[in-house]
């Protein structure tokens, strides 16, 4: 079951003090092939991020800590600008929180791997709301930043780099770009040598096969 707790935050952008619920733990049974967990009980996704009740600045709880806050001194009009983007207006509420954080992360130039993860989670929220059009937009942005992370090798753990390459392939498959999906899956299949990543090899082979037969 999902458990939450309430914490106190000071917004790095506008100085507002407020309380917000965040996730302590959750359980899931299985997951989609892009790692969207099948949560048991309350959907924890909206509680991963903390949103300022005044200016809508949104980030992970740790981004509010004293050491980090300096980096996130974003001007209020910047956040308003993000909210007024045509794409932002099309997103379901939960996805919008991940989108705002991703845009703030882009602004302060956080590791593209983290940005790709935020857009991936935004795409999961769109799927949960059965908004396929918005999901596609978020998947495309997720691919863009995951590719940047792989190409610029900004992922510190080499095992994770293969997981991210798999995700790029899987997102391309979901976007019905068979050729690019094939390239990324093949790259993963050829690169896995660690027996502990056998699960990823099997998953990549399975999804590569689905890609060839156009099954979704």
Binding site for Zn ion (CB under 5 A): 11, 13-14, 16, 52, 54-55, 57
Report residue 7: phi and psi, to 5°.
Answer: -125, 160
Nearer to Zn ion, 73 or 178 (CB): 73
Nearer to Zn ion, 13 or 117 (CB): 13
Nearer to Zn ion, 80 or 178 (CB): 80
Taking the complex as a whole, the smallest distance from the CB of residue 58 to Zn ion amounts, in Å, to 9
In this structure, are residues 76 and 55 in contact, taking their beta carbons and an 8 Å threshold? yes
- SS3 at position 205: helix
Taking the complex as a whole, the smallest distance from the CB of residue 14 to Zn ion amounts, in Å, to 3
Taking the complex as a whole, the smallest distance from the CB of residue 81 to Zn ion amounts, in Å, to 15
Work out the number of other CB atoms within 10 angstroms of the CB of residue 203.
Answer: 18
Cα distances (angstroms) measured from residue 17 to each of 6, 14, 20, 65, 174: 13, 9, 10, 13, 41
Query: For residues 74-92, b (16+ Cβ closer than 10 Å) or e, as one string?
Result: beeeebeebeeeeeeeebb
Nearer to Zn ion, 59 or 171 (CB): 59
Taking the complex as a whole, the smallest distance from the CB of residue 40 to Zn ion amounts, in Å, to 33
Nearer to Zn ion, 14 or 163 (CB): 14
In this structure, are residues 13 and 72 in contact, taking their beta carbons and an 8 Å threshold? yes
Taking the complex as a whole, the smallest distance from the CB of residue 51 to Zn ion amounts, in Å, to 9
């Amino acid at each position: 079951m999902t458990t939450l707790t309430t914490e106190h935050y000071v917004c790095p952008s506008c100085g507002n003090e407020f309380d917000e619920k965040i996730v302590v733990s959750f359980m899931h049974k299985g997951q989609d092939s892009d790692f969207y967990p099948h949560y048991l009980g309350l959907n924890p996704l909206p509680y991963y991020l903390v949103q300022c009740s005044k200016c809508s600045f949104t980030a992970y709880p740790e981004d509010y800590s004293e050491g980090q806050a300096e980096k996130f001194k974003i001007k209020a009009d910047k956040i308003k600008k993000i909210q007024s983007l045509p794409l932002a207006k099309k997103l379901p509420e939960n996805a919008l929180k991940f989108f705002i954080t991703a845009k703030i992360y882009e602004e302060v130039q956080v590791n593209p791997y983290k940005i790709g993860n935020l857009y991936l989670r935004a795409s999961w929220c769109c799927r949960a709301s059965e908004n396929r059009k918005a999901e596609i937009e978020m998947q495309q942005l997720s691919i863009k930043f995951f590719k940047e992370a792989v190409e610029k090798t900004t992922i510190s753990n080499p095992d994770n780099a293969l997981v991210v390459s798999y995700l790029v392939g899987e997102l391309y498959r979901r976007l019905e770009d068979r050729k690019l999906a094939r390239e990324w899956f093949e790259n993963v299949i050829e690169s896995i040598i660690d027996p502990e990543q056998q699960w990823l090899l099997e998953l990549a082979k399975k999804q590569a096969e689905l890609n060839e037969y156009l099954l979704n």
